Each structure stands twice: as structure tokens, then as C-alpha cells.
Amino acid sequence: MINLDPKDLWKSVKGELEIVSNPAHFKAHIPGTAIKKIDEADHLIEISCTSEYQRNFIEERMYGYIKDIIRKIAGDEYRLMFTVEKTTDLKLKPDDFGPLFNTPQENINKAKSVGLNETYSFKRFIVGNHNRLANAVSTAIADNPGKIYNPFFLYSGVGLGKTHLVQAIGQEVLKKNPNAKVLYITGEQFLNEVVDAVRKGKPTSNLTRNELKNKYRNVDVLIVDDIHSIAGKEATQEEFFHTFNALYMDQKQIILTSDRPPHEIKTLEERLSSRFASGMIADIQPPDLETRMAILIERNEELKLGAPREVIEYIAEAIKTNIRELEAKLLQTVTTARSLGQTLNIETTKSIIGQIEKTQQSRITPNTIIREVCKYYGVTIKDLKGTRRMKTLVTPRQISMFFLRDISELGFQAIGELLGSRDHTTVMHGVNKIESSIKDNRSFQKEIDQVRNAILNAD
């Protein structure tokens, strides 16, 4: 044995393990572990873990890595034994939270001036199997904007990190070249500015058409978040079509995000859809358990929350929808326990999360459901409640019926009244049609999940 000191040996093992193992697995399952004892006579090394879940995962997925590394460092074969030493319950106090970020104010101001949030960086972006391609493309673009992967179209459900990733590109471009012209906007902002420019000459107008063109066509990197917001808006799509062409011909980087791929954006002009799909398309899927653990561990350390390992594990297993909700549940749980002076353990975590979910469910009104369905499919509420039976209206109408039944638990008669005084048998047929399509069509099931996610995360 080169070094019999348990602390030094485990530090060396972790250094090697971080290189050879899955990064998400390392971040999620190695923190909190330590070599408890080295028995030279029995050639046994005892490694302590903080929970049964952590011990089981390391034994099943990382045992071989650890054993090989110890053999390499120690020059001898050792048996490994993993034991559990649970952390004590944590009593939170009001001053247990540290500062969130230590970013210089001038950097924050610079980022804000081009629409970027300084907290969205590659350093804070947790990479896993669900987003590896998207991250690789983003870092490549940051190194060489406008030359490869142009345009870049990134799509995912709500709260999975697409805004974080595209803003990280902008941050990195500015870091490498402070003189670069980077602009981040949302699709809704672009829509509002086009409408405003069309109203030129009126007192409420801020931009003329020429000023609009100068703003968007004289940049090196244009990032438009939620580009699907311009679908169905003819004048806005026309303006963006010419903006896109001007930037593309000048080899300027175009980055777009949406909640679905280009061909699935309803009422988006075909000429735009084909251009959006002409470059690199990547998606971000919901993170697996290991990545969710890694994200929570990172945020727990970053925010100095002091949440015990068992609480982090419980939240990671309970929240599977999106990263935004995952991080919010951790912060809400710790904050609530602290404000009430409660001991933070699994029991209090279950109780707090249960209360939070009840509150969230109660704020989702029928009007919220109808609004989010209309927004997703690019139709108006008036048309949804109207009498026209075009396919572009019938499907969103039936999906509204399905969610009004599934989330709000309304009766068929009440749903019919909400959607233009329709007969309850029409509503029953609509709900049954959607339920059947979900079972038979995996692609449609994914679409319904995206709409549900948008409803549950609506402001």
C-alpha cells in the first residue's frame, strides 16, 4: 500500500473515478462517501455511504471501477465492503442560507443588456444522457458561431433546460469575444415588436420597420426562445423569414428553441419550418434518476441549503417531470421547513411536498387549461369554442375536453358549457377519442405529455 491514510486514499480514488465513470453517476452517488477503515490483515477496505440507495447503486454500478482504481494505486488486491452511516436530521435556522451567486455586478449588467441571465452558464448545466447531444452542439457553437450547426434548433418540454443551454451559448460567445453582438429574445417579444413596428406613427409605437430590421439583422448571434409563439401570425412570420435569410447569408449564428420540432409546430409556414430544420436539430428529454440526483446535489451545495442526502434522494425519485420543478421542490421544501422550525427529514419532506402539490393543483383553473391548449396549437379561444369543425380546431377542442375532465375533474355537462354550450355526449366522445389515441399512438402520447406539462407549469 502506497498510502494507508484512508482520507488520502479515497481522495485519489475519487480523482480517478471522476475521469472513468459516468459524470452524472459520479455527481449523484459519490458525494458523502468515505473510506471508514482499512484492514491490512484481512485485505479489506470499508467504505461508508449515507443511505441504502447510495450503497446499492455504488455496489451495482461502480464497484468494479473502484476496485480497479484501488488495485492500481495500492498495487494489491483488496475486498470492498460498503456500509451505511445515515446523516443526522437537520434542524434549519434562518441564517443557514448562503449567498446565491458571487458574480461581479458588472458582468451581470453586461449580460442583462443583451437579454442574457448571468446564472445560465455551461458550468451550472448538468450533463446526462438526456441532454448530451444538445450540450455538445451548444459548446461547439460557442467555440465557432455561425460556421457549423447553423441554424441550431433545440426543442424540449417545459423546464428541461433549453433556455439555460442557449443562454449559456450567448454567455460563452461574449466571454470569448466581448465585442460580439449577441441578442437574446423570446418569440413573444419579437411578435410584440413587429406589431409595434406596424403601428408606426402612433403614440404607442417604439420601433419603426427600419429600426426593427437594424436591431435584428446586425447581430452576430441571434437567440430566439420559444419561436413557436410566432406561428399563425402572418406579418411576424414574414418579418422573421427575411431576418432569418439575412443572418444566414451573412453566416451569422441563429439559435431557436421550441417545445416541439419544426414540423410539429401548428400553423407555422412551410418555408420557415423547412429553414428551421435545415441545420442541426437536437432535443432534451426528461433526466434520468442519476441526473436528477446530480442536479439536486449541485444546487444543494451551490445554495448552501444543507439538505440531508435522504431528502435529496426522496425528491429526485418523486419529481420526474422537469428540472425546473425538481429544483423548485428542493428550495420550497428547505425554505418551508426552515420557516416552520421543523427538522428536515423524509417525513417532513413528504408532508411539505404534498401540501405544495395541493396548492399548485388548486390554482389550475379551467380557463388556464383552455388558454394553454390554445397557445400550444396556435388557435384562438374564440375559434376553439366556436362551431367550425376543421381538424386544426377539432383536435385542440377534444384535448381541452380531456384535460378539463382529467385535471379539473369537471362533469361532461360543465365541460360542454365551457366550450360553447356543447352537448354532454359530444364531450364524452371527445374525451374517449383522446384517451384511445393516447393508448394507440406513442407520438400522440408524447404530445399530450407536453401539453400537460405546459398546463401544470403555467404562470
CATH of the domain at 430: 1.10.1750.10
Beta bridge partners, 35, equal 47
Confidence of residue 250 (pLDDT cuts 50, 70, 90): very high
Residue position matching grid coordinates 367550425: 388
402 and 383 inside one domain: yes
Domain end marker among 263, 284, 305:
284
Cα–Cα distance, 218 to 161 (Å, whole number): 28
* Residue 98 confidence (pLDDT) above 50: no
The answer to whether residue 105 sits within a structural domain is: no
* Structural domains in the chain (count): 4
CA 147 to chain centroid: 27
Residue position matching grid coordinates 411578435: 191
pLDDT tens digits along 68-94: 888 888 888 888 988 887 655 555 554
The answer to whether residue 441 sits within a structural domain is: yes
Confidence of residue 100 (pLDDT cuts 50, 70, 90): very low
175 and 303 inside one domain: no
* Residue 379 confidence (pLDDT) above 60: yes
Cα–Cα distance, 451 to 158 (Å, whole number): 9
- More confident position, 400 or 179: 400
Question: Which H, E and C letters describe 346-384, residue by residue?
Answer: HHHHHHHHHHHHHHHHHCCCHHHHHHHHHHHHCCCHHHH
Domain that holds residue 331: 289-362
Query: The C-alpha cell of 86 is what?
Result: 445515515
Among 306, 328, 310, CA closest to 319: 328
Among 354, 309, 306, CA closest to 329: 354
Cα–Cα distance, 116 to 112 (Å, whole number): 5
**CB neighbour list of residue 37: distance below 8 Å, 6 or more residues apart:** 6, 44, 45, 46
**What dihedral angle (degrees, nearest 10) is formed by the CA atoms of 55, 57, 63, 66?**
-80
266 and 307 inside one domain: no
* Residue 337 confidence (pLDDT) above 60: yes
- What is the structure's pLDDT at 426? 94
249 and 177 inside one domain: yes
Domain end marker among 284, 308, 342:
284
* Residue 363 confidence (pLDDT) above 70: yes
Confidence of residue 330 (pLDDT cuts 50, 70, 90): very high
Structural contact between residues 272 and 241, judged by C-beta atoms closer than 8 angstroms: yes
Mean pLDDT of the chain: 86
- Which whole number is the average pLDDT over 118-134? 90
The answer to whether residue 447 sits within a structural domain is: yes
- Range in 189-193, 203-207, 262-266 the model is least confident about: 203-207
| Dihedral of alpha carbons 313, 316, 319, 324, sign | positive
The answer to whether residue 99 sits within a structural domain is: no
370 and 357 inside one domain: no
Residue position matching grid coordinates 443588456: 113
Domain end marker among 362, 385, 404:
362
280 and 297 inside one domain: no
348 and 376 inside one domain: no
Cα–Cα distance, 414 to 419 (Å, whole number): 9
* Residue 205 confidence (pLDDT) above 80: no
Structural contact between residues 254 and 152, judged by C-beta atoms closer than 8 angstroms: yes
* Residue 373 confidence (pLDDT) above 70: yes
Confidence of residue 1 (pLDDT cuts 50, 70, 90): very low
Q: Is the preceding peptide bond at 151 cis, omega within 30 degrees of 0?
A: yes
- What is the structure's pLDDT at 101? 43
- What is the structure's pLDDT at 19? 81
The answer to whether residue 355 sits within a structural domain is: yes
Question: Which H, E and C letters describe 88-110, residue by residue?
Answer: CCEECCHHHCCCCCCCCHHHHHH
Query: The C-alpha cell of 336 is what?
Result: 418551508
313 and 277 inside one domain: no
- Which whole number is the average pLDDT over 312-328? 89
Alpha-helix residue ranges (DSSP H) falling in 132-269: 132-143, 162-176, 187-198, 209-217, 234-249
244 and 138 inside one domain: yes
Among 289, 185, 199, 200, CA closest to 230: 185
CATH of the domain at 244: 3.40.50.300
Helix 309-318 and helix 52-61, axial crossing angle in degrees, nearest 10: 70
340 and 382 inside one domain: no
Beta bridge partners, 321, equal none
Cα–Cα distance, 306 to 211 (Å, whole number): 50
CATH of the domain at 43: 3.30.300.180
Q: Is this prediction's pTM over 0.75?
A: no
Structural contact between residues 9 and 70, judged by C-beta atoms closer than 8 angstroms: yes
- Which whole number is the average pLDDT over 100-122? 68
The answer to whether residue 350 sits within a structural domain is: yes
Name residue 435's amino acid.
E
The answer to whether residue 56 sits within a structural domain is: yes
CATH of the domain at 333: 1.10.8
Q: Phi-psi bin for 132: left (phi > 0), alpha (psi -120 to 50), beta?
A: alpha
CA atoms lying within 13 Å on the CB side of residue 175: 14
The answer to whether residue 124 sits within a structural domain is: no
Please give the C-alpha separations between residue 163 and each of 221, 223, 303, in angstroms, as whole numbers. Answer: 15, 10, 21
356 and 370 inside one domain: no
385 and 439 inside one domain: yes
* Residue 37 confidence (pLDDT) above 80: yes
Cα–Cα distance, 384 to 404 (Å, whole number): 14
